[in-house]
Amino acid sequence: MDHTEFRVKAKEMVDYIADYLENIRDRRVYPGVQPGYLHKLLPTEAPEKPEKWDDIFKDVDQHIMPGLVHWQSPHMHAYFPALTSYPSIMGDMLSSALNVLCFTWASSPAGTELETIAMNWLGKLLGLPECFLNEKNDSPGGGVIQTTASEATLVSLLAARTRALMELSKLNPELQAAELLGHLICYCSDQAHSSVEKAGLIGLVRMRYIESDEGQSMRGAKLEEAIAADKEKGLVPFWVCATLGTTGSVAFDNLREIGQVCQKHGAWLHVDAAYAGSAFVCPEYRHWLDGVELADSFAFNPSKWLMVNFDCTAMWVKDSTALHRTFNVNPIYLRHENSGKAIDYMVGSQNEDIKKLTLKKINIMNDIDHPKADDNKVDNKFNKNNGVITQIENRNITKVDAVEHWQIPLSRRFRALKLWFVLRNYGVVGIQKHIREGVRLAQKFAALVLADPRFEIPQPSNLGMVAFRLKGDNAFTERLLKRLNARGYIHAVPACFKGIYVIRFTITSQRTTNQDILDDWNEIKIVASEILTDVFGSENGNIAVVKKPRISLKETRELNATFGTSLLLANSPMSPKIVNGTHAAICDYEQVLTSCAQTFAQLKMEPKDSPEMRRRIRGIKMCGKKFSLDSCMDMVQGMMIEQPLPQFEEEREDASNGANTETIEAKIC
């Protein structure tokens, strides 16, 4: 493909992407293929000669698309969101074209600096403490974009392990690192993500799971109890992972309680907020962040709910030197003349004052006395623990070069570009509106579930996810989920906490509407009715449904003499309802007062020259009953007319009769 063909085919690809996302609601969200289907459709070897692009892309439509789970569909409710957006797509397009590698400042100055800027923006947007940002020259903290939350968890655990081993080696210089490693132990909730367990396996450390409370939350008292017991056994607690927004039920560990325990025992506190972290852009959800200043690292996925397509995980650390001394290598081909003037996410340098502070803080040379900050002359020293050579000859110190690693791999994509595009194109207001709409739709679904006596929500619902189930044995809910996924109209996955099997229903698409929620709930009800009918012979199963007695309007009026009814119509998908009361309205928009004012402004000021209208208004005034909203509006319209309405013949006769009566009564008196 040359540049001429690329111009044409790339534009066609943009149209294809736009059409796909615009019409994704019409696609079957979950495929009906079986394992190995694609092997039967594609050749076993790569083509010997070049193929035409049109032939290649024809296979995408015919073979690839039928086997995909459509994650951007409004009927996709499995896992957590994996959203994309048009500015994010364009960011990835440009990043792929540029294909720069941002591991050092020299390898991509703009890429490195933009990542620092975007991470500072995002940290402020979440309300993180300043200690996690990298805005000042002497700030030891900062943010970095990792690939996944799993990698961020592993990076924090390895950094904490290095810190713990360095401290233990000072106290036990006769022991090797391998011997000290066996004494380390870390902790997480029994509701933590599986990646936390995997990090412990890779780090070769023991992992203890703390039992969560009835709300699926890890509490400080339980953690303190476990740590005290392990210390008595000679173990050293070095790392704790707190989860904000668990996978099973979006529960939140008590961050402040856990942070206080970690500070007491000198353990590293890592906060995994992979899904829920996006919600902290809205101030009303930041109460779950209480205590975050006690954490050592914090990570969440903009690639989940923030409409930045995968991969993009935002990670902040309070002290970046903890990462540097864990992942540092310093090959000659990664050094550059600007070391010490900017952040290098793979390698880098800091100026003299920062490095003095850093060396003093971490005591990088364990086998010698560290030079004082005001000492300008030291001998050549070598760090035996991690292989870093700090070489400062007998001369005045003008700059201290050091290796600063922030991640496990060397190469890194230009991920900051798509994050920057999204933050700018949506703005704070747009992102907050997106998050709040997802929460509102989840609340709407929860209300539908609770209104059906056959279902229950065993745990409180938080943010954009609802965990629900059919009442009774777990087998009913399992059959329901299996049949729903097999039909392919919606897709969901299960969770199980404390022996209760539930279906996770997550709002995963920014294209989801009220009608989509109603359609999905109707699909769930249909399948549930089929299952309960098969088992119990009734669509209600073994649930005794008490029917509410129907009371006619006539009976209601007899019971309440002031009762009035109004037929309310609204610009919403709801059907018209007979509402008990007159002054009521069904509104599906926000600016109610503005709309009301506009409606009053549009009222016709001219009187309706109709005897019927006048009698109607006069009857309203004379009667003590409550009348409909339309009647009240007619009365308001009549009262808003500045000049008195012209009287008709009937009114003149009534007025003259009234005057005669008053005259007669006066004479009698």
What would the mean pLDDT of 320-331 be, rounded to a whole number?
Answer: 70
| Four-residue CA torsion sign, 147, 148, 154, 158 | positive
- Measured in whole angstroms, the distance separating CA 90 from the mean position of its chain's CA atoms is 22
What digits encode the pLDDT tens for the residues 489-516?
A: 999 999 988 889 999 999 999 999 999 9
Q: Is 343 within 8 Å of 119 (Cβ atoms)? A: no
Q: What strand order describes the sheet that includes 297-300?
A: 142-146, 313-317, 297-300, 268-272, 236-243, 184-189, 206-210
Q: Which backbone phi and psi does 272 adopt, to 5 degrees?
A: -100, 105
Q: Using 50, 70 and 90 to split pLDDT, how confident is the model at 631?
A: low
Lowest-pLDDT choice from 49-53, 169-173, 517-521? 169-173
- The residue among 442 and 630 whose pLDDT is bigger is 442
pLDDT at position 336 over 60? no
* pLDDT value of position 640: 54
From start to end of 526-658, where are the E strands? Answer: 565-568, 577-580
pLDDT at position 426 over 90? yes
**Beta-bridge partners for 379:** none
CA distance linking residue 352 with residue 392, whole number of Å: 12
Among residues 199, 200, 304, which one has the least CA distance to residue 247?
304
Q: Is 484 within 8 Å of 524 (Cβ atoms)? A: yes
pLDDT at position 388 over 80? no
Q: What is the DSSP string of 98-124?
A: H----SSTTT-HHHHHHHHHHHHHHHH
pLDDT at position 389 over 50? no
pLDDT at position 446 over 50? yes
What digits encode the pLDDT tens for the residues 528-585?
A: 999 999 988 888 877 776 777 777 777 777 777 666 555 444 444 444 444 444 444 4
* pLDDT value of position 50: 94
pLDDT at position 448 over 60? yes
What would the mean pLDDT of 246-259 be, rounded to a whole number?
Answer: 94
What would the mean pLDDT of 252-256 be, rounded to a whole number?
Answer: 96
pLDDT at position 600 over 90? no
- The model's pTM is 0.72
Q: What is the DSSP string of 267-336?
A: -EEEEE-TTGGGGGGSGGGGGGGTTGGG-SEEEE-HHHHSS--SS-EEEEES-THHHHHHH----GGG--
Q: Of the spans 98-107, 346-355, 365-374, which averages the highest pLDDT?
A: 98-107
What would the mean pLDDT of 375-385 be, rounded to a whole number?
Answer: 36
pLDDT at position 615 over 90? no
Pull the structure tokens for residue 508: 């995963």
What would the mean pLDDT of 477-482 be, rounded to a whole number?
Answer: 96
* pLDDT value of position 169: 87
The burial of 374, by beta-carbon neighbours within 10 Å (0-12 exposed, 13-18 middle, 19 or more buried), is given as exposed
| Four-residue CA torsion sign, 168, 174, 176, 182 | negative
| Mean of the per-residue pLDDT values of the chain | 79
* pLDDT value of position 619: 72
Which residues are CB-neighbours of 121 under 8 A, at least 6 positions away? 423
What would the mean pLDDT of 284-292 be, rounded to a whole number?
Answer: 96
